[in-house]
Amino acid sequence: MRICIFGAGAVGSHFAVRLALGGHEVSCVMRGPHLEAVKARGLTLRVGDAEFSARVSASDDPAALGPHDIVISTLKATGVSSLATGLPPLLRDDTPVVFAQNGIPWWYDIGLPPGHPPPPDLSFLDPGGRLRATIPRQRIIGGVIFSANELVAPGIVVNNSTDRNMLLVGECDDRASERIDRLRAALDDALIQSPPEPQIRETIWTKLIGNMSISALCLLTGQTVKAAVQDPALRDVVPRLLQEAQAIACSCCPDVKRDTRGGAPADHKPSLLQDYELGRAMEIDALVRAPAAFARAAGLSTPMLDVVAALAIRQARAKGLYESERV
């Protein structure tokens, strides 16, 4: 297949290498020094002591890459609005788009299955409704990433979760489809695990339980996930945060459980902390503000998460990484 990775940073570059080595024709929308390095030397993926390299087409102009069979967006929530103008040159009439990001996605209320509680107003995730106006429902595939990666130099990505790299995908209305089967097969063949997920929103919440609590805590403390979870000073804080986060998730998907398939906590800085340290716009809305809106809609009391959220927003604003007057 012709596969485009739109927004090939750490995770996207990792997937691009694996898919290219799996025999697919891969192109990447990327920019800056990372783009120049990939044009000159290709992409390099380091996994433990092993190193893999692949040549991919790359550009900061989607029009230079042409149409594809599938587009996988690995953009952060803060940059996903750029798809409104960037996607059209990459699309055929039947090209689906996988929105693989952390947190609550902009399309959450589209194709909502029967019985799912109505979500709160999430328009702040798609300012001006640009994505909703330009990307029809039939193109939308939900995606949830479980893979810890870091760009250590332009053109070089290190995978920090060597035994666990997944991209779970599903239609926005949870129906079975041939294109999901084909995509899962391509991912599995490229050693990107993609087991069946009958309810994509449940998968979103499964990951978000940790992101809205532990990732935000790591931002405040500057610790890796492993260090925060094992910090004696936070022994009583961590379980209370997780309990409140799970209550929010269960108000939408009653059977959702915190994800524990990765085993022991990763000694890895979550993306929220990486973005803060690198001075990049932060996914506060998708990871912190949106879950808080669900909690209010469900009438839940989440005092621990409320404090962590307020401090996270303040910390991001103080560094100029959260451009909003929002609460």
- Give the active site residues: 207
Residue 211 near residue 103 (C-beta atoms within 8 A): yes
- Residue 43: its H or E element: strand 43-47
Q: Which two tokens stand for residue 138?
A: 């039939």
Cα–Cα distance, 48 to 160 (Å, whole number): 8
Exposed, middle or buried, 82 (CB in 10 Å: 0-12/13-18/19+)?
middle
Which tokens go with 233? Answer: 């000073």
Helices (H) and strands (E) in the chain, counts: 13, 11
- CA dist list (Å): 223 to 1, 299, 304: 40, 32, 18
On whether the CB atoms of residues 170 and 180 are closer than 8 A, the answer is yes
CB 68 within 8 A of CB 46: no
What is the C-alpha separation between 209 and 112, in angstroms, rounded?
Answer: 20
* Cα 289 to Cα 295: distance, rounded to the nearest angstrom: 10
Task: Report residue 213 CA to chain centroid gap.
Answer: 16
What's the rounded Cα separation, in Å, for the pair 191 and 47?
Answer: 12
